């Protein structure tokens, strides 16, 4: 968020989003993109950062269900959706999101099919 503020000249999300795709021409675009994707992929348990989610589910069922349904995994997806208008000015954004999303979907599908426990 600090790099976004430096690149756009404002710390306000609404003003960053109003600048649209002009951010993709800035020299800090790739570091901002890398850090934003790293944080979002980690928070939303995308491959290769998927290992923390099953360990977090070891908590008591009501606590685990509340935390995961309310905020835990959705925060990364929300951040990507919220920043899309400002970051979508390059093919790097599109291809990175598509690639990681597809790999995560295939990986999760294979794990689900190989699951020995009934759900």
pLDDT range class, residue 69, cuts 50, 70, 90? low
Category of 16 on φ-ψ map: left (φ > 0), alpha (ψ -120 to 50) or beta: alpha
Asked if the model's pLDDT at residue 9 lies above 60, the reply is yes
Rounded to the nearest integer, the mean pLDDT of the chain is 81
pLDDT range class, residue 31, cuts 50, 70, 90? very high
Q: What percent of the chain has pLDDT over 90?
A: 15
Other beta carbons less than 10 A from residue 96's beta carbon: 15
Domain ranges of the chain: 2-113
Higher per-residue pLDDT: 62 or 88? 88
pLDDT in tens, 49-60: 766 666 666 656
């Amino acid at each position: 968020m600090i790099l976004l503020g430096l690149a756009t000249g404002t710390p306000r999300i609404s003003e960053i989003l109003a600048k649209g795709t002009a951010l993709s021409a800035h020299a800090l675009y790739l570091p901002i993109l890398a850090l934003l994707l790293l944080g979002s992929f980690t928070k939303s348990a995308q491959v290769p950062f998927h290992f923390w989610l099953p360990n977090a589910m070891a908590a008591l069922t009501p606590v685990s269900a509340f935390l995961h349904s309310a905020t835990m995994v959705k925060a990364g997806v929300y951040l990507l959706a919220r920043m899309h208008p400002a970051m979508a000015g390059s093919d790097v954004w599109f291809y990175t999101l598509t690639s990681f999303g597809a790999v995560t979907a295939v990986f999760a599908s294979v794990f689900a099919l190989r699951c020995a426990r009934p759900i």
